[in-house]
A = this chain, B = another copy of it.
Amino acid sequence: MSDLKFSVQGESSSATQFIGKTRQFTLVVDEPQSLRGTDEDANPVEYILAGFAGCTNVIGHVVAKELGFTINNLKIEVSGELNPNRFLGTSNEERAGFKSITLSLIPDTDASIEVLAEWLQIVEERCPVKDNLQNNTPIKIAVEKEYNTI
């Protein structure tokens, strides 16, 4: 297959809330009150963790099929810790994002531990979100001033 493009377009509905559209879907991103938000949906880094879990779910099933075993159910837990001081502007001592991310895959399956170890290795190798979180990715951010057309 050739390259696929994915995109999200949206706008702020408040200083903490973003309403994004991607294809036919609406994704609302907010912050909890403890981070000065209105807490109407998950926050940006929770979106990142959900995307990572969703990615391992898809790849996990694809690879299980390739290896010839069945996953009856797959539980996934993912978490990370970050220090909010850089984000809040109170200190630059630590990085802004997650210091590390931990994900647990808990499949209900008859596959042996040995097969699951092989499965895990392939899942890790082929998950797009893991690649983008674990490794460097070029990012370009531009600002365009919106012209008032009154």
Chain A interface (Cβ within 8 Å of chain B)? 1-12, 15-18, 20, 22-23, 25, 27, 29-32, 35, 37, 41-63, 65-66, 71, 73-90, 95-109, 113, 116-117, 119-120, 123-146, 148
Contacts and interface: CB of A to CB of B under 8 A. Distances in A.
B145 A107 contact: yes
Contacts of A146: 73, 75, 106-109
Contacts of A1: 83-85, 88, 90
A1 B83 CA distance: 7
A55 B59 contact: no
Nearest to A104: B142
Contact of A87 (B43, B128, B135): B128
